[in-house]
Amino acid sequence: MDCQEIINKCVSDGDAVIPELEAQAICRNFNISCPPTTLVTNKAQCLSVAQEMGYPVVIKIFSRQIVHKSDVGGVITGVQDTEQLNMAFDQLMDNVKTHAPAAEVGGVIVQKQMPKGVEVVVGGLKNDQFGPVVMFGLGGVYVEVFKDVSFRLAPLDKEEAMRQVKETKVYKLLQGVRGEKPCDIDALCEVIVNTGRLLSSFPAIKELDFNPVFCYPDGCTVVDARLVL
């Protein structure tokens, strides 16, 4: 299923937010890297997939009625082995039954837990006056606190993306501090450019939020992708 087909199906299904697996498929179509992710329907599949994927893993509830998974205990991170996963799976199901009893559960998402990198956010929205706009800045839980962000009209090229990155304070972290290796800023600029292309290509996407994006010395990965219709 191509990107437009995914969007059309979500619109016809009445989804306000594109489900995570479909959002990742759209990202990969635009060369935006995401962690290995698989949907399973039972515990046996979950254990098998995690073993093949390699620990540590993250598990998340999959339900079209639950948009903010963490609010209902629908995300468990840092699962290190089969024994922990066995307990975490049961805990996840209990959490959802308690906090979202009416939600229809379609399965569990198993995702490779990525090593920590410098956390940034790449986002975008459709501005009524200017059209598609891409945002970049410090990510993770601090995005709302420090508001260290910069904006550009989309689409944009890599040179403009580099100027956008340099306008933020997080640029110093990306260059490496206290002996840490510098991050792959070229790869980050590719993500920003490709995000602008994605946002500009589909009028139905009203906004998007990639937070966090982990930046490493050899690339970067979108850990959480949210696309709003």
Output the pLDDT for position 64. Answer: 81
pLDDT band (50, 70, 90) for residue 142: low
Which of 112, 145, 176 finishes a domain?
Answer: 112
CATH of the domain at 79: 3.30.1490.20
Report the distance separating Cα 143 and Cα 166, nearest Å: 17
The whole domain housing 12 covers 3-33+115-228
Do 107 and 127 fall within a single domain?
no
- When divided into structural domains, the chain yields a total of 2
Output the pLDDT for position 145. Answer: 61
Output the pLDDT for position 177. Answer: 84
Do 217 and 203 fall within a single domain?
yes
Output the pLDDT for position 66. Answer: 82
pLDDT band (50, 70, 90) for residue 146: low
pLDDT, averaged across the chain: 93
CATH of the domain at 181: 3.30.470.20
Report the distance separating Cα 160 and Cα 157, nearest Å: 5
- Name 69's Cβ contacts closer than 8 Å, sequence gap at least 6: 60, 61, 75
Output the pLDDT for position 139. Answer: 83
**pLDDT tens figures, 159-168:** 999 999 999 9
Which of 112, 135, 161 finishes a domain?
Answer: 112
Do 62 and 143 fall within a single domain?
no
**pLDDT tens figures, 31-76:** 999 999 999 999 999 999 999 999 999 999 998 888 778 889 999 9
- Answer yes or no: is pLDDT of 221 > 70: yes
Do 103 and 123 fall within a single domain?
no
Do 26 and 127 fall within a single domain?
yes
Which of 63, 91, 112 finishes a domain?
Answer: 112
Do 108 and 123 fall within a single domain?
no
Please tell me whether the peptide bond between 212 and the residue prior to it is cis, using omega within 30 degrees of 0.
yes
